[in-house]
Amino acid sequence: MKIIATGSSVPQLELTNDMLSQMMDTSDEWIRTRTGIQSRRILSTESLTDLAIAAAKKCLDQSSLQGSDIDYILCHNIVSDIVTPSMASIINKEIGSCCPTVDLNSACTGFIYALDIADSLLKTGKARRILIVCAEEMSHFIDWDKRETCVLFGDAAGAVIVEDGGDETYFHLSTKYTDALNCNSKYASSPFRKREMPYHYLEMRGRDVFKLAILNSSNDIKKVLEKANIKPNDVDYYLLHQANIRILEAIRKELDLPEKSVPHNIEKRGNTSSASIPVLLDELNRSHTFKKGDLLAFSAFGAGFTSGACLIRWQLD
Ligand code: UT7
C-alpha cells in the first residue's frame, strides 16, 4: 500500500495554556512540563464536519484527483457532530464521489485501524483508491471543569489517500480491556428509561494510561519491526500518537532512537486522538521532511485499550 496524498485541517481558535490558566486552577508551567503542550486548536464557529471536509479536499487537491476517482471512504471519529448519516457519507457528497462509506471507532488508535482495513480492501481488489479521514472533536466530550483532562486535548482532522502498490505494509494491532479511559454516551431523555443518566464526559486514570501507552506502543513497534525483519534504527521516522511528550520520550529511549526520528507537534496541537498522526504526517509532508523511499512507523494507543503500529514505505517524491 502507498500513501499518495495527505491533508489536514485545524480550527481557527488557538487556546493557549495561559488562556486556560485564566479559566481554571492550572498553569502554563504545569501543562508544559507534564505534557509538552503549549496550545491547542478548539472548535468554536466551525463544525467537526467542516474540518473533515476541508482535510479531505486538501488531500484531493494535493493528488490532483477528483472525488469521482475515490472508490471507498473510511472515516474515523470517536464522536461525530452528526449521529447519522455517517461523516464518511457526508464527505462522499461534498467531494462528489459515489462510493461505499463507513465510520469507524477504535479510539485514538483509529488511524492505524483505518489503514489496516484499507490495506485489506486494496489487497482483495475491493477498492483501488481509498480516502481515510480521521476527525476528532475532543472538546465536545471533555469536562471543562476537570483540569486533569481538559488541558490535554485539541480538535483536528487529518486525511490520506492510499492506493495499492509499493512495498508490503506491516501491521500489529491489539486490544486488551481496561476501564482506565472511557466516556459514556449522553442520552436523550426517554419516558421509559429507568437507569440514571451516566456521567458523560471523558474519564481517565492518567497514570495508568501513561504506563500502558509506553508499554503497548513499544511492544507494538517491536512486533512490527520483527515482522518486517528490521531494526529500530532502520526506520527513518516514527510518527507516534501525540498524547504526551514524556510518553514520546519514553518510547524513544526504550527503542534507543535519535531525537530527530521522533518528530512531534503536540506543542501546538495537543492530543487530537485519531487525528494526531495524520495531522503530523500532513504537516511533515508539506514541509518536505520525507524523501521517497523513507521508512515510516506509526504507533498509537487509546481507550479500549486499543493499540497498534504500522510500517509503511514513503513513495511520494
Ligand atoms: O490518548 C490517550 C489519552 N490520554 C493520555 O495519554 C494521558 C496519559 N497520562 C498523562 O499524560 C499524565 O498522567 C497526565 C498529564 C494526565 C498527568 O500527569 P501526572 O504526572 O501523571 O500527574 P498526576 O495525575 O499524578 O497529578 C499530579 C498533580 C496532582 O496534584 P497532587 O495530588 O499532587 O496535589 C493533580 O491534582 O497535578 C495535579 N494536576 C494539575 N495541576 C495543575 C492535575 N491536572 C492539573 C492541571 N494543572 N491541569
Rounded average pLDDT over 285-295:
98
Q: Are 84 and 282 in contact (CB under 8 A)?
A: no
Catalytic residue among 77, 241, 244, 310: 241
pTM reported for the whole predicted model: 0.98
Beta bridge partners of 155: 137
Shared domain check, 149 and 17:
yes
Give the ligand 1 atom nearest the CA of 147: 48
Residues 74 and 131 occupy one common structural domain: yes
85 neighbors 166 (Cβ within 8 angstroms): no
Quick one: 158 and 9 in the same domain? yes
Q: 108 and 240 share a domain?
A: no
Q: How far is the CA of 149 from the centre of ligand 1 (A)?
A: 8
Quick one: 180 and 63 in the same domain? no
Instruction: Give the pLDDT of residue 85.
Output: 97
Residue 24 has pLDDT above 90, yes or no: yes
Residue 233 has pLDDT above 90, yes or no: yes
Give yes or no: residues 145 and 206 share one domain: no
Of the three residues 163, 194, 220, the one that is the final residue of a domain is 163
CATH of the domain at 268: 3.40.47.10
> Which DSSP string do the residues of 76-122 spell out, in sequence order?
E-SS-SSSSS-HHHHHHHHHT--S-EEEE--GGGHHHHHHHHHHHHH
Among protein residues, the one with the nearest Cα to ligand 1's atom 20 is 34
- Which atom from ligand 1 is nearest to the alpha carbon of 150? 48
Indicate whether 244 and 126 sit together in one domain: no
- Asked about 241 being catalytic, the answer comes back as yes
Last residue of a domain, one of 122, 143, 163: 163
Active site residue 182: no
In a shared domain, residues 283 and 145: no
Strands 72-76 and 101-104: parallel
213 Cβ inside 6 Å of ligand 1: yes
Our count of domains for the chain comes to 2
pLDDT reading at 104 higher than 90: yes
Cβ of residue 35 lying under 6 Å from some atom of ligand 1:
yes
The response to whether residue 108 sits with its C-beta less than 6 Å from ligand 1 reads yes
Q: pLDDT of 36-59, one tens digit each?
A: 999 999 999 999 999 999 999 999
- Specify whether 143 is located in the same domain as 177: no
Q: Show the domain range for 223.
A: 170-313
Mean pLDDT (whole number) for 177-182 = 94
Q: Looking at the CA of residue 149, tell me the nearest atom of ligand 1.
A: 16
Q: Find the mean pLDDT for residues 119-129.
A: 97
* Residue-wise pLDDT tens digits, 187-207: 888 899 888 888 999 999 999
Centre of ligand 1 from the C-alpha of residue 133, in Å: 30
pLDDT of 186 above 90:
no
Mean pLDDT computed over 135-164: 97
Mean pLDDT in residue range 91-99: 98
Question: What is the residue-averaged pLDDT of the chain?
Answer: 97
Does one domain contain both 183 and 158?
A: no
The pLDDT score that the predictor gives to residue 20 is 98
Active-site option among 59, 75, 108, 150: 108
- Cα–Cα distance list, 62 to 119, 149, 257 (Å): 21, 35, 31
Distance from residue 34's CA to the centre of ligand 1 (Å): 7
Task: Let me know whether 10 and 159 are in one domain.
Answer: yes
Per-residue confidence (pLDDT) for residue 65, from 0 to 100? 96
Tell whether 81 and 189 lie within a shared domain.
no
